Amino acid sequence: MSKVNLDYLDELEAEAIHILREVAGQFEKPALLFSGGKDSITLVRLAEKAFRPGKFPFPLVHIDTGHNFEETITFRDQMIDRIGEKLIVGYVQESIDEGKVIEQTGKNASRNALQTVTLLDTIAKYGFDACIGGARRDEEKARAKERIFSVRDEFGQWDPKRQRPELWNIYNGRIHKGENVRVFPISNWTELDVWNYIKREKMELPSIYFAHERDCITRNGQLMAASPFLNMDEEDIVERKKVRFRTVGDMSCTAAVSSDATELDDIIAEISASKISERGARMDDKVSEAAMEDRKKGGYF
């Protein structure tokens, strides 16, 4: 009989589509967590491939820190218009106003950690039983051990020691009331795979992924975008730089890299040659060797 050896992007795509359809089939109220970053944009593309010409069997959920890059929000709204799917936004500002979280102070203050509370509240408010996210195992050591279907208790906590065995391509999504499952369809993709897929699929991205001129300051050896969300003082010198961003997070914790890459091919070449990992540009991961593991145990994405 005939055999086929799928190209790696086709294989990764087919696996992700299978996972998305399992979510649709196994859960009552799933949601897709959308950050405006390239990984969640990739998830949207995969959802189109999994469910068109039907509608998505889930809404998109964005946890808005209020400290966004403006370009990301513009992109998000245009994308929602194009795909015609439902968007739900959870605002960190509301969590602050309601006194559920307290804004950090000090020079390295960020709303990144506060997002977790808003996320869990949004999950509870809408009763989501599964949240699809764009995390990848190659990003970080704790993520390398997480299942594709990752069960969280009613406090949103991940318990790395009590993970369910995940065998073959069979995903067990059964949960008790109040629990939910985080699902990671692109677990097995690398950063470079995502970029090659974006290129192959001719996908649109927020402009901040491409090199542009921007006012920056240097802090802890990294380039940060000057913005009202960053606590700056007289020691911070603002310089005009040509930069781009490798990940899209909060403006206060996402570092830029110096770059002349204005086209996808330039970015792919840059990443192939890069000696710094993607999360190396995230201040939030620099805190300790187990920073991500601790945040995931607390309910983070």
Partner 1 sequence: MNILKFFTAGSVDDGKSTLIGRLLYDTDSILADQLEALQASNRKNDDGTIDLAILTDGLRAEREQGITIDVAYKYFQTEKRKFIIADTPGHIQYTRNMVTGASTAKLAIILIDARNGVVEQTIRHSYLVSLLGIEHVVVCLNKMDMVGYSETVFNAITEKYKALAAELNLKEVTFIPVSALKGDNVVNESEHMQWYQGRSLLHFLESVDVEDALPYNLARMPVQWVIRPQTDELHDYRGYAGRILSGSFNVDDKVTVLPSGHSSVIDRIEIFDQRPVEAFAGQSVTIHLKDNIDISRGDVLVNSDHLPQSSQVIEADLCWMDARPLDDSITYLLQHNSKITKCKIREIVYKVDINTLAKQDAHDFKLNDIGRVVLKTADELPFDLYTENKANGAAILVDSRTNLTVAALMFRNVSY
Residue in 79, 142, 223, 225 binding partner 1, rule: CB under 8 A: 142
* 22 lines the binding site for partner 1 (CB under 8 A): yes
CB closer to partner 1 out of 97 and 155: 155
CB closer to partner 1 out of 8 and 126: 8
Total Cβ atoms within 10 A of residue 191: 19
Q: Which of residues 237-296 bind partner 1 (CB under 8 A)?
A: 274-277, 280, 289-290, 293
Q: What are phi and psi of 45, to 5 degrees?
A: -60, -45
Q: How far apart are CA 195 and CA 192, in angstroms?
A: 5
* 222 lines the binding site for partner 1 (CB under 8 A): no
* 13 lines the binding site for partner 1 (CB under 8 A): yes
12 token code pair: 């990764």
* Cβ-proximal residues to 148 (8 Å cutoff; 6+ apart), any chain: 19, 166, 171, 183, 184, 185, 187
Q: Which of residues 90-109 bind partner 1 (CB under 8 A)?
A: none
Residue type, 15: E
Q: How far apart are CA 14 and CA 18, in angstroms?
A: 6
Query: Count of residues binding partner 1 (CB under 8 A)?
Result: 61
Stretch of residues binding partner 1 (CB under 8 A), selected from 30-38, 79-87, 103-111, 140-148:
140-148
- For residues 162 to 201, the per-residue mask of contacts with partner 1, x marking binding by CB under 8 A and - elsewhere, is -xxxxxxxx-x-xxx----------xx-x-x---------
Residue in 38, 62, 111, 137 binding partner 1, rule: CB under 8 A: 137
Write the Ramachandran bin of 252: left for phi over 0, alpha for psi from -120 to 50, otherwise beta.
alpha
* 24 lines the binding site for partner 1 (CB under 8 A): yes
Stretch of residues binding partner 1 (CB under 8 A), selected from 51-59, 84-92, 105-113, 226-234:
51-59
Stretch of residues binding partner 1 (CB under 8 A), selected from 42-50, 106-114, 223-231, 250-258:
42-50
CB closer to partner 1 out of 121 and 285: 285
Exposure string for 237-268, b = 16+ CB within 10 A, e = fewer: eeeebebbbbbbbbbbbbbbbebebeebeebb
Smallest separation, CB 226 to partner 1 (Å): 24
* 85 lines the binding site for partner 1 (CB under 8 A): no
* Interface residues toward partner 1, by CB under 8 A: 1-8, 10-15, 17-18, 21-22, 24-25, 48-55, 57, 137-138, 141-142, 144-145, 160-161, 163-170, 172, 174-176, 187-188, 190, 192, 274-277, 280, 289-290, 293
